[in-house]
Chains A and B, each alone.
Chain A
Amino acid sequence: MQSEPLGQSDPPEQLRPLPVNPSTSIFEGRLHPLTIAFGLLKTARGLIYVVPLLLFGNKGYGFVALALLIASTIATALTRYFSFSYRIEGNELITQHGILERKQRSIPLERIQEIRIEQGVLHRIFDVVDAKIETGGGEGAEASLSVLSRAEAERLRRAVFERVARVRPAADDANLAGQFHRAGEAQAAAPVERVVIRRLRLKDLIIIGLTTNHLLSALALAGALWNFAEDLLPDSIYRQAGNIIYRESSRLFMQDVATTIAVALLGALAVFLIGVTFSTAGAIVRFYGFTLSRAGEDLRRRYGLLTRRASSLPRRRIQVLKIEEKIFRRMFGLATLRADTSGSHREHEDDNSGHDVLLPIARRNEVDGLLTTFLPDFDAGQNEWRRVSRLAVRRGVIKGAIVCALAAAILFGVHQQIIALWPFALLPLVYFISAANYRNLGYALSERYFCARRGWAGRSTHIVPINKIQAVEIHQSPLDRRLGLATLSVDTAGQAYTGGGPQISNLPIDEARAIAGTLAHRASVTRYSWRQ
């Protein structure tokens, strides 16, 4: 590996943008005329603020304000439509807009990670789309082309990626050996066939809904609502309601205990059903018609009931792959696959576009078979998983005991009753959690991949290609040093969807050093670039 000449095989001249020259422009395009309509609709919401002014305020000012708003909205929409243009020139995608101040943005083609296509309900009626161009760095989309006809978006996408494939030199990555590359080139020449990897049926979506942790949040919500209602409403209402429920149900059960149990059960069932209904409906709306397919090096997803979304992800750009088995899914042998690319970022916290999952649901025992589809040179499957130090359980218990002791001390300080020492009763639970945690902790190291697994009730497995590793860290708390343990974490680019990359605690310190040294040295002789 070390003997291979690195870097010299990648002549940077080929990637340098060609001089700007109209003759090199191979692709030009404009927005769809409906841009005007969509622009008007989008800003029409601003008019809501004028309505009160019209109704209650000075009518004259109100109408002036309204007229001004409408005029500026129309002007903005018209300006955007008539001035916005985009073109591919040399190795750059250039967008340009504005009349007085012409704003131009050039995006080097090889930096384009993904062109995401979104289609809301209104978009679907008129068969237009929003195209969002994402690059490796920065927040949010680099450019947003809104709106394009669907055919035009497809044309743009093909133009960009074909051009990238032609421009990209053969030696992209020393570690990923040339064969994938040559395969990629061959595919670029011939029309690429598309292989469906997985299609989710309604049944799968219902399973997603049933196994979502929304159940828990629904319970929490119900609890919070109950507390809130208790504070809010006068006691008499509860008494009356209680009486009614009592009268009605005692007619059915004729017994006090039975009434209470029945009411409690019915309540729990109602909350459960509401939770299930909501999360199932959510899953169907979000992932309806989910299809994951592969065309050459691209992994393509297409999904959504109301807003249709389509995106493609070149599989060599996967930085971390995560197999997520949350508690409910794990109980039924199910898992979710997530992937980070170097361009990953969350647009906002509760981003529910579903963009963060590669495959929302799959049987756990099928996942290992799928891995080579996502990571063509995956080789860690046959390697033995290694466990961490058995001291993990002790460390967990000590940490838990410290927390319990602190909580007990505070409570005892406040109440000064023996009952305030109840946190110590949690120690068996702490032991159970620590033991479960130890059973799940593990790692596997192969020629090209590092995998780490953690969790106690649920479990998550992170898989990272060694050539995507950016840095390796070893941490030791005072307790770790006492027990001779350490935590190892691996940093990669763009960890937005996989919850922070591989991290493995409770490794014996010597082993942690050995792994860190191996990973870092191995990574140092591989090449990394945004384009991969």
Chain B
Amino acid sequence: MIEEEIRQFEQAAASGEPPNSTDGFQSLDSRVISLWRVSGLIGFGVLLLSLLIVVLAVGFAEPKFFVWLFIPWLALAAISCWFSFWYPPRFYRTWGYRIDAKVLETRSGRLFQRARLLPLSRLQHVDIERGPLERMYGLASLVLHTAGTHSANIRIPGLEAGEATRLRDRLIEIGGDDAV
């Protein structure tokens, strides 16, 4: 029985479906791209600002070093600005989730790719999280908790707020007949 099942899966995987198939995978809300851009810029901004203070302090004490510190700082600033614009849409494209029978599958990651399969009957509880930025964009994250150890929670970011609630209800409905 199990052999058959594996064969079916293998056939499905072999027959035309490319390994990175997008079949049935839902993508996140595209507004999450600008959310990631903004939060990336804020993160880099804090880092750059603190570095700038160091550069200025050193430059004040030893003016001849100033240029040699300021130019790398400018370069770093340019790279991080470019990165926080360039990376999010690419990362966004790798993100997907789908519900197949009673299993939720998420995939993400560009360089290091990861797929996670969560049997919905193992769902312990579901959280909806909305940070201040997410609220501004009308987005929400869904956090799925299992009783597991190293992937005890699975996070789906960047869902439209209403969609997040609907998805939560659906997940609980599918997984809910397994009360713990």
Contact = CB atoms under 8 A, between A and B. Distances in A.
A515 B6 contact: yes
Nearest to A470: B148
Contact of B19 (A6, A513, A530): A513
Interface stretch (A20-28, A99-107, A405-413, A517-525): A517-525
B156 to A, nearest CB: 14
Interface in B5-41: 5-6, 9-10, 13-14, 19
B172 interface: no
Interface in A477-502: 477-478, 481, 484, 489, 491-496, 500-501
A445 B2 contact: yes
A521 B149 contact: no
B81 interface: no
A524 B120 contact: yes
Contact of A7 (B103, B147, B179): B179
Given A6-B177, A471-B154, A342 B147 contact: yes
Contacts of B117: 471-474, 516-517, 519-520
B101 A524 contact: yes
> How big is chain B's contact interface, by range?
35 or more
Nearest to B154: A471
A478 B9 contact: no
B116 interface: yes
A12 B1 CA distance: 32
B94 to A, nearest CB: 11
Contacts of B90: none
A475 B151 contact: no
A495 B149 contact: yes
A473 B116 contact: yes
A476 B146 contact: no
Interface residues of A, number: 52
A253 to B, nearest CB: 57
Interface string B135-151: 00000000000111111
Contacts of B101: 521, 524
A160 to B, nearest CB: 20
B118 interface: yes
A514 interface: yes
A10 interface: yes
A515 B121 CA distance: 18
Contact of A511 (B10, B102, B146, B180): B10
A8 B146 contact: no
A477 B113 CA distance: 7
B154 to A, nearest CB: 7
B111 A478 contact: yes
A526 B121 contact: yes
A215 B108 CA distance: 44
A527 B121 contact: yes
A529 B180 CA distance: 5
Contact of A509 (B9, B19, B105): B19
Given A10-B179, A528-B178, A493 B149 contact: yes
A446 interface: yes
Nearest to A523: B119
B178 A514 contact: no
Nearest to A475: B114
Nearest to A517: B9
B115 interface: yes
A469 interface: yes
B102 A525 contact: yes
B151 A471 contact: yes
Nearest to B19: A509
A342 B14 CA distance: 37
Contacts of B102: 521, 524-525
A524 B180 contact: no
25 contacts: A7-B177, A7-B178, A447-B1, A469-B122, A470-B118, A470-B147, A470-B149, A470-B151, A471-B151, A473-B114, A473-B116, A474-B117, A491-B150, A495-B150, A501-B150, A513-B9, A519-B117, A520-B118, A520-B119, A521-B100, A524-B102, A524-B120, A525-B121, A528-B147, A529-B180
Interface of B: 1-2, 5-6, 9-10, 13-14, 19, 100-103, 105, 111-122, 146-152, 154, 177-180
Given A475-B113, A492-B148, A523-B122, 5 more contacts: A12-B179, A447-B2, A510-B13, A518-B5, A527-B121
The 7 closest A-B pairs by CB, nearest first: A470-B148, A524-B119, A7-B177, A514-B9, A524-B102, A520-B117, A491-B148
Interface of A: 6-8, 10, 12, 136, 342, 445-447, 469-478, 481, 484, 489, 491-496, 500-501, 509-511, 513-530
